[in-house]
A and B are shown apart, each in its own frame.
Chain A
């Protein structure tokens, strides 16, 4: 299904995401990588000193769309094209792959590229490539 191209709100949203990353780095010296922050809350547990801000960050992230809906009065569009079994497989792969590869769209894609990290640029090119191929196979080879 088609979605409308939203360059302005997407760019503005990106600025907010980048600002959150700056806050975390200037304040705590940490990279805003969601897979890293989330996975360090899972066993084997990470540093006890960091557990507080990490849990607070996730709470903020989960509360944000609810607050967004209250403040803007509009619902957040969410259209899933995959059924539940496929979503479960996708979730497993996203969780495993992002933690195994030390980062996702935020840690590698935003922060890593901003720091000109060679590892992050390579990781971003890799997950973009497999993402493009997966959607091509799903929609154009298997049919959709």
Chain B
């Protein structure tokens, strides 16, 4: 139960952060990517704020043996730069530029239930399901 409550609270805090930062707005994200046009550097400040708190925390946690509610930490084990990583990231970036939403803001804005958000999210879930089997 504690694990479920923690999941819910972190999802809420994450979603609040997205809403406050303006990242739920596709136009704002696309403007970050539009260096040659109506550039809006806000997205860099969102990443900066997130990394500013997460980086010291991740380093401090290296001293912990295990997390509070689990037996061990679950970190990615791969270290090589493979084709799958770079191809996937490249394809993701194209969709991100075309639509202006990445998975977090997309799922979060499903709650706002506009037709545009719902079409994007439905297509995204299909894409995820395909990649999960690929």
Contacts and interface: CB of A to CB of B under 8 A. Distances in A.
Interface in B1-53: 3-28, 30-31, 33-38, 40-43, 45-53
A61 B94 CA distance: 24
Contact of A90 (B80, B95, B134): B95
Given A17-B18, A60-B15, A126-B93, A88 B123 contact: yes
B112 A61 contact: no
Contacts, number: 506
Contact of B93 (A23, A97, A122, A140): A97
Contact of A104 (B24, B104, B117): B104
The SS class assigned to the B binding surface is helix
Contact of B68 (A27, A32, A93, A123): A27
Given A13-B46, A17-B17, A95-B128, A25 B57 contact: yes
A64 B53 contact: no
B111 A16 contact: no
Nearest to B133: A44
The SS class assigned to the A binding surface is helix
Given A15-B50, A16-B20, A97-B95, A91 B120 contact: yes
Contact of B27 (A1, A38, A97, A113): A1
Interface string A88-104: 11111111111111111
B107 A127 contact: no
How extensive is the interface on chain B, given as a class? 35 or more
Given A13-B23, A135-B30, A64 B61 contact: no
Nearest to B37: A139
B74 to A, nearest CB: 5
Contact of B38 (A3, A28, A39): A3
A57 to B, nearest CB: 4
Contacts of B111: 62-66
Contacts of A61: 11-12, 14-15, 104, 107-108
Interface of B: 3-28, 30-31, 33-38, 40-43, 45-55, 57-58, 61, 64, 66-70, 72-76, 78-81, 84-104, 106-112, 114-117, 119-134
Given A11-B48, A18-B57, A119-B81, 4 more contacts: A3-B42, A13-B23, A59-B8, A102-B76
Closest 8 pairs (CB-CB, A-B): A101-B88, A64-B15, A14-B49, A60-B11, A13-B21, A95-B127, A93-B95, A90-B99
